[in-house]
Amino acid sequence: MTNKIKVGVFGAYRGMTMMNVLARHPDAELVAVCDKYVPALDKCRALARETGINLTCYENFDDFFQHDLDAVVLANYANEHAPFAIRLLLSGRHVVSEVLPVETMAQAVALVEAVEKSGKIYAYAENYCYFSATQEMKRLYRSGAVGEFMHGEGEYVHDCESIWPSITYGEQDHWRNRMYATYYCTHSLGPILTITGLRPVRVVGFESRPVANMREQGYRAGTSGMIVAQMSNGATVKSLHGNLKREPGSIWYAIYGEKGMMESDRWHEGVSKVNLFTEGNDLTATEVSYRPRPVVDSTLAKLTSTHGGGDFYTMHYFLEKILGRPAGENCIDVYQALDMGVPGILAFRSICQGNMPMEVPDFRTLEAREKYRHDNWCTNPSVAGADLAPFTAFESPDISGDVYDKVRKEWESGGK
Ligand SMILES: NC(=O)c1ccc[n+]([C@@H]2O[C@H](COP(=O)([O-])OP(=O)(O)OC[C@H]3O[C@@H](n4cnc5c(N)ncnc54)[C@H](O)[C@@H]3O)[C@@H](O)[C@H]2O)c1
């Protein structure tokens, strides 16, 4: 008899990161994985041999669904998390979802209601909320170090041009080729919400124009997306993400309060360092820069410290939450997940309407849900039906099938 939580992973590409933690975690029994791409399953079998676990590999989700599982990690396509999460929750499984939480506003309503109906745990695996800098900034903010929140900035600038073949495989309809500029917004916006505990109430979106180099990779949308938000306490936020040119990429967060400000490092030290400025009542200034200690300093946390350590915590806190332990409160629940993800959908709607402001519904309330229950607006024809969104408000590039063939060949030959 074991008290370990039986976990399955759906999607074995990014999912391998989670499997690396779960296969070794003392509270988890990694029992199943599902991916239709067989070479990914071969790597899972190798992990099972290396760690001595008994892992069943499935190519079909319906077969995987029948496996005896307490909890499932969703690391499948970014735009397909919600329908699978709903099905799993209603079958009695706890769910932890990779980014993004939903593709449409209607899915947001359905997801919230499935979590509430099932009584199961839903956790959002926004790993950028668990860098050592973002966890430390949360601790500092909650201790009152910089006073009440006034303004924040979050950036996830990652030029993916060179890796586009290896993350889209030349698939014309891959979700990364269907994204619009503000969709992938929770890496930049999420940590600001986690640090402050506040939510956005109104957003305006902006996109930069599509560029030729990304068009040659098969990407049709604006190059970067910017969300400007008004927060529930009257503060302002700027969130920027996209394929802008910069190396190293920018993963950066800044929090201004009534008594000071703090930010992660903007260049090489990135999210492993915090810079803190505070001002006393007599206007005396204090400035300090330091590398925060990891919140969990275990061998496993060190061994699985990808993405600045964040990848360990998404799994660890999910297990702690299921087991009813206090550290589980660090999980991002479904309402917080939607506070982070829905602004990306609404900011693009703002862009398509000439940068009009959009109210961000609070899905904690029943009243907020009715307006969006049937709102399927997105770039995915099979979900949107007649309510199909464009890829960009600029002229959408027409990309021929030859481009995707070329990208596919690059992927097959091992990248650029
Ligand atoms: N948080 C992070 O830092 C981070 C980093 C990379 C990716 N991601 C997220 O991870 C998820 C997966 O991204 P990815 O990079 O692995 O690329 P991906 O989306 O191309 O891979 C998804 C994998 O799931 C499998 N899959 C999807 N639907 C399936 C189905 N119905 N049946 C069987 N297999 C199926 C695919 O074969 C593929 O191997 C996305 O949600 C993405 O946003 C997050």
Predicted confidence band at 23 (pLDDT cuts at 50, 70, 90)? very high
* The ligand 1 atom nearest the CA atom of 77: 19
CA distances from 388 to 103, 375, 377, 378, 397 (A): 12, 11, 6, 6, 17
Q: Is 63 in the pocket of ligand 1 (CB under 6 A)?
A: no
Per-residue pLDDT of 334-386, as tens digits, reads 999 999 999 999 999 999 999 999 999 999 999 999 999 999 999 999 999 99
- Residues 206-217: what's their mean pLDDT? 97
Separation of CA 273 and ligand 1 centre (Å): 30
Confidence of residue 3 (pLDDT cuts 50, 70, 90): confident
Cα–ligand 1 centroid distance for 232 (angstroms)? 33
Give the atom of ligand 1 at the shortest distance from the alpha carbon of 184: 43
Ligand 1 geometric centre to CA of 80 (Å): 9
Q: Does 273 score more than 50 pLDDT?
A: yes
104: pLDDT confidence band, cut at 50, 70 and 90?
A: very high
Atom of ligand 1 nearest to the CA of 11: 24
Ligand 1 atom closest to 61 (CA): 32
Where is average pLDDT lowest: 17-31, 92-106, 290-304? 290-304
Share of the chain above pLDDT 70, in %: 99
3-class DSSP string for the chain: CCCCEEEEEECCCCHHHHHHHHCCCCCEEEEEEECCCHHHHHHHHHHHHHHCCCCEEECCHHHHHCCCCCEEEECCCCCCHHHHHHHHHHCCCEEEECCCCCCCHHHHHHHHHHHHHHCCCEEECCHHHHCHHHHHHHHHHHCCCCCCEEEEEEEEECCCHHHHHHHHCCCCCCHHHHCCCCCCCHHHHHHHHHHHCCCEEEEEEEECCCCHHHHCCCCCCCCEEEEEEEECCCCEEEEEEECCCCCCCEEEEEEEECCEEEEECCCCCHHHCEEEEEECCCCCEEEEEECCCCCCCCHHHHHCCCCCCHHHHHHHHHHHHHCCCHHHHHCCCHHHHHHHHHHHHHHHHHHHCCCCCEECCCCCCCHHHHCCCCCCCECCHHHHCCCECCCCCCCCCCCCHHHHHHHHHHHHCCCC
Question: Is pLDDT above 60 for 1?
Answer: no
From 57, 77, 103, 179, the mutation candidate for ligand 1 (largest count of ligand atoms within 8 A of CB) is 77
To test the ligand 1 pocket, which listed residue (73, 76, 131) has its Cβ within 8 A of the most ligand atoms? 76
* Whole-number pLDDT of residue 188: 98
Q: Ligand 1: does its nearest atom lie under 6 Å from the Cβ of 40? A: yes
Could you read off the pLDDT of 287-296 as tens digits, one per residue?
A: 999 999 999 9
pLDDT bucket at 415, cuts 50 / 70 / 90: very low
pLDDT class of 396 with cuts at 50, 70, 90: confident
Ligand 1 centroid distance, CA of 175 (Å): 9
The pLDDT value recorded for residue 416 is 43
Pick the atom of ligand 1 nearest to 314's CA.
1
Mutation test residue for ligand 1: of 98, 126, 174, the one with most atoms within 8 Å of CB: 98
Q: Is residue 76 within 6 Å of ligand 1 at its C-beta?
A: yes
Q: Considering only CA atoms, which residue is closest to atom 27 of ligand 1?
A: 76
11 CB under 6 A from ligand 1?
yes
Nearest atom in ligand 1 to the alpha carbon of residue 75 is 11
Domains and CATH numbers, the chain: 5-127 (3.40.50.720), 129-296+334-384 (3.30.360.10)
